[in-house]
Amino acid sequence: MKIAFIGLGNMGLPMAKNLVKAGFSVAGFDLSGAALQALEAAGGKAADSAAEAARDAQVVVSMLPAAAHVKSLYLGGGQGAQSTQGLLAQMAPGALIIDSSTISASAAREVAEAARAKGIDMVDAPVSGGTAAADAGTLTFMVGGDGAQLERARAVLEKMGKNIFHAGDHGAGQTAKVCNNMLLGIIMSGTCEALQLGIANGLDPKILSEIIGKSSGASWVVNSYNPCPGTLENVPSSRAYSGGFATDLMLKDLGLAVEAATDIRASVPLGGLARNLFAMHSAAGNGKLDCGSIFNMFAVAKP
């Protein structure tokens, strides 16, 4: 099976490498030359464009930053001389799209409907687990689409993930993802606030994290993605918040959650507060740092 992988960032690159490791023929495209070289070093093929990567591919996997990028990739855009043709116009009927980007449910449904009109199957399959799970091939996939489409995608998804959930019809995977990431943003903010309070009162953050990790405040953030430097190895906080899940991506996902709530007049006060906190953190120049860097915002000034 030939697979095209579009978007070789912190998550996409290790996902593509795992597909190569599983024996698939993988052609990838990204704007980063270093990412393309890394894919080639792992046994994949670097393409000069998304269209080249997708040529004759039975499956196209995409992992892109936002809905605008996903819609541009598949639907094209622009006007006149600036117009571009999307991949849907070039893909053969019967092909399969797996979009693992985190975008709005409405955008996922729009692309899925356009794909259906071309005789192409599509599932929205955003992920959770972070870069460590992407490396290990143990991601959680939240899939939106019909059952038959999920079964078509399963052979590919299971090489990149450990948990595959059928959330519902098209867009449902995206809804599940924004609910999860809204909670992640809330827990990350609360964890940073609690740890900084302990530090300000003379506690060792590593010991405090161990206590919380075995108590009622335990969470994946505390135990596996601790935002306080020196508490865990091989997490973004141990390498000056490089890599991982960028603050700006967290901000985008929290915005999607608030937008989804607004659409149905739901109340998400904690989600809204978390979004505002990450907006302040991003505005202070921390957008490209891992979201755990918001830990520094909660530092208590010494009298």
Active site residues: 177
Q: Beta partners for 124?
A: 99, 144
Please state, as a whole number, how many other Cβ atoms lie within 10 Å of the Cβ of residue 301. Answer: 5
Instruction: Write the secondary structure of the chain as one string of H (helix), E (strand) and C (coil).
Output: CEEEEECCCCCHHHHHHHHHHCCCEEEEECCCHHHHHHHHHCCCEECCCHHHHHCCCCEEEECCCCHHHHHHHHHEECCHHHCEECHHHCCCCCCEEEECCCCCHHHHHHHHHHHHHCCCEEEECCEECHHHHHHHCCEEEEEECCHHHHHHHHHHHCCCEEEEEEEECCCHHHHHHHHHHHHHHHHHHHHHHHHHHHHHCCCCHHHHHHHHHCCCCCCHHHHHCCCCCCCCCCCHHHHCCCCCCEHHHHHHHHHHHHHHHHHCCCCCHHHHHHHHHHHHHHHHHHCCCEHHHHHHHHCCCCC
Quote the CA–CA distance of 192 and 60 in Å, as a whole number: 38
